[in-house]
Amino acid sequence: MTDESSIADISPPKTTLNDDKTSLCQQLMSRLQALNSLTATTAVSKKQIWLEFLSLWFDILQNSVSDVPSCYKECSRLPHNMINKTSFYQLKRETDVARQTFFTCLSLLNLSHIKDYLKSTNENGAVSTNQAYCTQVNFMLSLLSEALPYLPLLSTDEEKIIEKSTELFTLLIEYVDLCMPIKSKTTEQKDYKLDSPIMDILSVLWNLLDRTVFVPTFLKCDLPKKVVLWLAQARMLLVESRQPLIHIALNISWHDEGADELNKYRAIAVIKQYQKKYIEDDSRLIVFGMVLALLSTPEQLKNDAKDMKIVLDKLLQLVINADINKSSRYNGFHISEPLGVLVKMFVVEEQTLDYTLCRAETEPPSDMHSTISLFISLFFKFSNALKGDNGLEQFTLTAILNILWSISFHPIYGQELLSDEKLIDTIKTFTDDHNQQEIVEQYRRRSMESIKSATYGILHNLNRKITNDIASDEKIVTHDIRESNSMKGKSDKPMIMISYCHKNDSFCTELFNLLTTHNDAFDIWIDRTHLQGVDDLWELIAYGIERSSIVVSLISSQYFESKSCRQEFVYAADSQKKKIVPVLLEKFEPKGWLGK
């Protein structure tokens, strides 16, 4: 038998919390010494050292400064030293390095004691309450800003991590707000310089919002209101301090809900005031033009015709210049950006299309033939986008098809498209469901419709027979669907078709429910009951219009901005001479193609 005294001899000594902290600190200090002793001689070794640094840095900072004070002290210059030792500013261009750096910094900033520090700093008027935390947070923000531009597509899980960081982003936005001239109570009336950490936060906001999917996350942080307030103070800021603000506003305005929020705080008036006095160079002029175009209503665009013509000149010139470059970029802009703005402008005001195609002032000079040829060549350039997973290229293809759709509504311009047989044949291929499988899910403004919708719209506008001749087997499928969906329950009663924008779905439901109480007198055709299991099939919608005696159109600003709704309305009123019963929603006044 083993006596109790021998058991006592082999039992581990009792430890206290302080002993545990001391042991942890010693382990971390040993790792710090080992890291500092490593030699970075090759690209591979530099990468390994940087990734080891990120791991150790996180392990240290996940503890509060009171738990491992000596480690924080030793760590005060560590990020700076590692940046130099590993040539991080070159290394960050590698995707895995950028990703690991970004998410390590984001995880650190989301730690409870770091967020508590940010809260206390905000409560003290942006004055640091702890120098140890201040130093590390500044490094986190700097590295976050440096890594983000080199992150490609994010996984769904990574997007969720960012979307769940609302509390952190709110704290950072509040920190920026406290450092702006008015809140900081500066006596300087101009040339006020924002500190590096603030510029890093603005850079992070700018780059994150470049991915429109994140705009709703920042709406929860009240960012649109803050941005308008910051732009109103731009007169007091240095040029480099105020430049990120308009880019943040532009990225917010790419999302319809973001644009609505900016308009709620009179963003157009503030931006125009800024535009008159503080445009530093020509590249900023195009940014202001893009923001105003995305925020403006059709009536505002029409009233600002002179300024908008200048913007259209700049947008088309930017497309021309970007097309020349292999990267499809020019002066910091990707070609998708001016194309995306043109999509919206061509929808809401027809005169913008006429001006852009026929009278825009560019270098070299352009005319209707050369401009339409430019859009056609861009279509061919990006026509293979669906074969890959590049979301930016797919967005560009979607924008180009929407522009070609707008062009196809006009008989003269449409003939330019119709005369290009290769164009028509290539567009036809996008009606094939197999060509839609690789589309990267991403946000589209309500003025920009899907590739398939645009494809059917173009083919219908140019010549409806083209749509019917896509393929013999598709004609059979279309006929079968017609029989099973559109002609199901066919009767001798007159039919009413409801034409509406899906943004007005709730009102449409109320109207549909009301009309169905009289189904003994007439039948109702609506997409939700007649297009079940069918996606974007214009053939069936056209057939519904043809069978209807009356078309009830729910007219709204969203209806006006939808090319699909325009196609339904024009086909019903002009081609089929159907009786149209307009139902005006909100306080919308029909204009443009609706006001004819």
Q: Report phi then psi at 551, rounded to 5.
A: -115, 120
The neighbouring-strand residues paired with 582 are 553
380-406 burial, b for 16+ CB within 10 Å, e for fewer?
A: ebbbebbeeebbbbbbbbbbbbbbbbb
* Residue 156, H or E segment: helix 156-163
Q: Report the relative pairing of strands 550-555 and 333-334 from DSSP bridges.
A: unpaired
For 245, the token pair is 């603000």
Give the Cα separation of 495 and 26 in Å (integer). 82
* Residue 503, H or E segment: none
Q: Which residue carries 């002032």 as its tokens?
A: 361
Give the Cα separation of 519 and 316 in Å (integer). 52
Contact 558, 589 (CB under 8 A): no
Contact 512, 526 (CB under 8 A): yes
Torsion of CA 63, 65, 69, 75, to 10 degrees: 80
For 317, the token pair is 């010139």
Contact 328, 303 (CB under 8 A): no
Q: Which residues of the chain have pLDDT under 70?
A: 1-20, 187-188, 278-283, 348-349, 433-441, 464-491, 531-537, 595-596
Contact 385, 396 (CB under 8 A): yes
Give the Cα separation of 219 and 169 in Å (integer). 11
For 356, residues 6+ apart whose C-beta sits below 8 A from its C-beta are: 312, 315, 316, 342, 346, 371
**DSSP codes of every residue in 350-369:** HHHHHHHHHT---SS---HH
Q: Could you give the C-alpha distances from 478 to 195, 424, 449, in angstroms and in order?
A: 63, 20, 22
CA 514 to chain centre: 38
Which DSSP letter does residue 325 get? S
Q: Report the relative pairing of strands 523-525 and 495-499 from DSSP bridges.
A: parallel
Give the Cα separation of 306 and 222 in Å (integer). 33
Look up the CATH number of domain 489-594. 3.40.50.10140
**DSSP codes of every residue in 159-218:** HHHHHTTHHHHHHHHHHHHHHSHHHHT-S-SS-BPPPHHHHHHHHHHHHHHTSGGGHHHH
- 201-251, pLDDT tens digit by residue? 999 999 999 999 999 999 999 999 999 999 999 889 998 999 999 999 999
So what's the pLDDT on residue 141?
97
**SS3 state of residue 480:** helix
- The runs of H, that is alpha helices, within 536-580 are 538-547, 557-560, 563-570
Cβ neighbour number for residue 254 with a 10 Å cutoff: 23
pTM (2 d.p.): 0.82
So what's the pLDDT on residue 492?
74
Which DSSP letter does residue 407 get? H
